[in-house]
Amino acid sequence: MVHVGIGYDVHQLVAGRKLVLGGVEIPHTKGLDGHSDADALMHAICDAVLGALGEEDIGHYFPNTDPRWKGVPSKIFLEEAAKQVAKRGGKIVNVDATLIAQAPKIYPYIAEMKKCIAAALNVTEKQIGVKATTNETMGFVGREEGIAAMAVASINLPE
């Protein structure tokens, strides 16, 4: 039976941090603020996978109050989500995600992001969709105060 989950994440852009999205470091004047590497794309995907399993969100597994997760790459979170799928005898069918960022331009990095996400989830790049859009200068994203990401994941689980 196919199960579907959705995920959403947002982080504030701040000076003095690296910008990491989809496991890829992107040159930019600001980075995302957070306890881990603050990879909003991987966080949204992680929540989508966990949601498809009917599990609690990323914060349950990796609380930002736990010093073990300080500064860690978010691929660790995706790898754990994939382990949870495998533990239940399931297979990830596909993931589709959208980044919402006014700047920087994301398109040049999408192929590498798909490669990183697929590796962390132990699936093929063909099973991963990543798109990007702006907020047309509206709201906190449009003012370049933050970046948001949303994702959907489908998982085939035994009944």
In the block, tokens 């200068």 appear at 137
Torsion sign (Cα): 107, 113, 117, 118: positive
- Residue 53 contacts residue 46 (beta carbons within 8 Å): no
- Domains of the chain, first to last: 2-156 (3.30.1330.50)
Q: What region, left, alpha or beta, does residue 114 occupy, with left being phi > 0 and alpha being psi -120 to 50 degrees?
A: alpha
Is the pLDDT reported for residue 7 higher than 80? yes
Closest CA relative to residue 81, chosen from 116, 56, 107:
56
User: Strand, helix or coil at 121?
Assistant: helix
Tell me: the pLDDT tens digits for 101-155? 999 999 999 999 999 999 999 999 999 999 999 999 999 999 999 999 999 999 9
